Amino acid sequence: PAIVENGVATLTGIVTDPGAGDTFIVDINWGDGSGVQTSTLDASATGSQLFTQTHRYLDDNPTATASDSYTITATVTDDDTGTDSASTTVQVDNVAPMVALDGVTAIVENGVATLTGIVTDPGTEDTFTVDINWGDGSGVQTITLDASATGSQLFTQTHRYLDDNPTSTPSDSYTITATVTDDDTGTDSASTTVQV
């Protein structure tokens, strides 16, 4: 069945051989460049051997796709050099990142606001773009975050508010919005406010 990035795929199969004394080597290529996983099977008086193997897919590659399909190939070789292969596929789906923001301390005009937040994503190989709209018409500030083996990335950004607009008010509140997008098109947004 389909899994999500950083999820575990379970492959089950059966090896049949009339040579009830044969032993087997099963090589599994998971199709994601991680190499070949090898296991051995003892002889079976029934002429058939079930096997189950698992593999974690850290990401859905290539990037810029919401899901990707991997071809899994199992190659069995008996102790007399006989061999056979079979293939199946698994779909690995991207999981959208999540962004959370801390509150921002009130500042005075021409002061600097500090925004802190965290991006979480089970895809430990995902990279991120964070677009911050400070809410004062100054445009969007973009930062990039590298992949994190822990699945979470902290960020801190600052912005100077030159004035408390509109005029004729002793203070004004600005909505700050952070939008995160991972390298596989998943996205999330969060907002907080700052009083100037």
Query: Quick one: pLDDT at residue 62?
Result: 86
Distance CA 25, CA 38 (A): 7
Convert the pLDDT of each residue in 121-165 to its tens digit.
999 999 999 999 999 999 999 999 999 999 999 999 999 999 888
**Residue 151 DSSP code:** S
Q: Are strands 128-133 and 173-182 parallel, antiparallel or unpaired?
A: antiparallel
| pLDDT for res 61 | 85
With b for 16 or more beta-carbon neighbours within 10 A and e for fewer, the 102-114 pattern comes to eebeebeeeeebe
CA distances from 93 to 9, 27, 36, 145, 185 (A): 12, 25, 22, 21, 11
What is the rounded average pLDDT for all residues in the chain? 96
Which whole number is the average pLDDT over 38-62? 94
Task: Look at residue 60 and tell me whether its pLDDT is greater than 90.
Answer: no
Structure pTM? 0.87
pLDDT (tens digit, 9 = 90+) per residue, 14-45?
999 999 999 999 999 999 999 999 999 999 99
Rounded CA-CA distance 159/175 in Å is: 13
